[in-house]
Amino acid sequence: MNEIPKRTIVQRFHLVFVFWLVVFLICLIGSSIITGVNLDLLVSNISQFFELLKQMVNPDWGYSRYIIQPLLETIQMAVIGTSLGTLIALPFSFIAARTVIKNKYVTSVIRFFLNLMRTLPDLLLAALFVAIVGIGPVAGVATLTVFSFAMISKLFYETIETIDFGPIDALTTSGANKMQVIVFAIVPQVINQFISYFLYTFEINVRASTILGYLGAGGIGVFLQRSLSSFRYDQTAVIIIAIFVVVLIIDTLSNVLREKLR
């Protein structure tokens, strides 16, 4: 006890920290080179960016009556996409939950599949579905269905795994089968959380659906693309403000409902 504790070389020179710093700096410099960072260009041309912003500050309000219909279509796409995705996700979330299926191999395979699905970004799915079903809102619905399926199934199976086992054991010992256990022991415990997650996914889908149309998958994004490609940034501004209002309304409604579910 009367010795000063000796520090190892690693501790004395903070080697762990230095190691991470070096790794970080290499990544940073490497990234700058690969992405062709050019600050001179940025400084000399940033005025063009602000020029566009300036055009956006004067929105073409007359345009707003043309975008109400596509905005509604966007919400319709989100409602159907989220609902279909949830319907498909339900059986998967029960199979992926270790509290329902005791076989580790089954749950692991399902989870691996769900993880792979979740890696695909929304716009990428939209591009694929536009190629499959053609330009239009159906491609958007399909995109949102797959996207919410991947997200909901994970949220759901994690919820199912946190439940209380008492009711399950009680039902199992009194001779209930798997289906009865799910309906009478699991569902009542998770239903509120499920609805809450459903609303949360719906919020995300409303945001996502506003840009899907950029690739032709219906909704307001189609008009966003049109206004951008015709350089009508005053119309773009109206669309962005409209998206903002819709997202705000949906988020507020959804938050109120989710508060009630608590």
Partner 1 sequence: MKKIIKNPKYNWLIWGVIIIAIYVWSFSGIEFSGIKDSAGEVTNSIFGGLFNPDWAYTYDGSGEDLVNLIIQTLAIAFLGTFISAILSVPFAFWAAHIKKNSSKFRSQTGKIVLTIIRTFPEIVLAIMFIKAVGPGAFAGVLALSIHSIGMLGKLFSEALENADYGPSEAITSAGGNHSQVLFFATLPTVLPEFLSLTLYRFEIAVRSASILGMVGAGGIGTPLIFAIQTRSWSRVGIILIGIIVMVTAIDFISGILRKKLV
Binding residues (CB under 8 A) for partner 1: these are 27-28, 30-32, 34-38, 41-42, 45-46, 48-49, 52-53, 72-73, 75-77, 79-80, 83, 115-116, 119-124, 127-128, 131-134, 136-138, 141, 207, 210-211, 214-215, 218, 224, 228, 236, 240, 243-244, 247-248
Shortest approach of partner 1 to residue 164 CB, angstroms?
25
Coil vs helix vs strand at 179: helix
Residue closer to partner 1, measured from CB, 95 or 133: 133
Residue closer to partner 1, measured from CB, 106 or 253: 253
Shortest approach of partner 1 to residue 94 CB, angstroms?
23
Residue closer to partner 1, measured from CB, 124 or 170: 124
Shortest approach of partner 1 to residue 34 CB, angstroms?
4
What's the CA gap between 164 and 185, in Å, rounded?
Answer: 9
Sorted by sequence, the CB contacts under 8 Å of residue 139 that are 6+ apart come out as 126, 129, 130, 132, 133, 212, 216, 217, 218
DSSP assignment, residue 214?
A: G
DSSP assignment, residue 4?
A: P
Residue closer to partner 1, measured from CB, 19 or 165: 19
Shortest approach of partner 1 to residue 128 CB, angstroms?
7
Shortest approach of partner 1 to residue 189 CB, angstroms?
19
Q: By the 8 A CB rule, do 209 and 224 touch?
A: no
Residue closer to partner 1, measured from CB, 37 or 183: 37
Residue closer to partner 1, measured from CB, 130 or 181: 130
Please give the distance of CA 85 from its chain centroid, rounded to a whole number: 13
Shortest approach of partner 1 to residue 228 CB, angstroms?
6
Sorted by sequence, the CB contacts under 8 Å of residue 202 that are 6+ apart come out as 78, 79, 82, 250, 254
Residue closer to partner 1, measured from CB, 136 or 167: 136
Shortest approach of partner 1 to residue 201 CB, angstroms?
15
What's the CA gap between 213 and 135, in Å, rounded?
Answer: 9
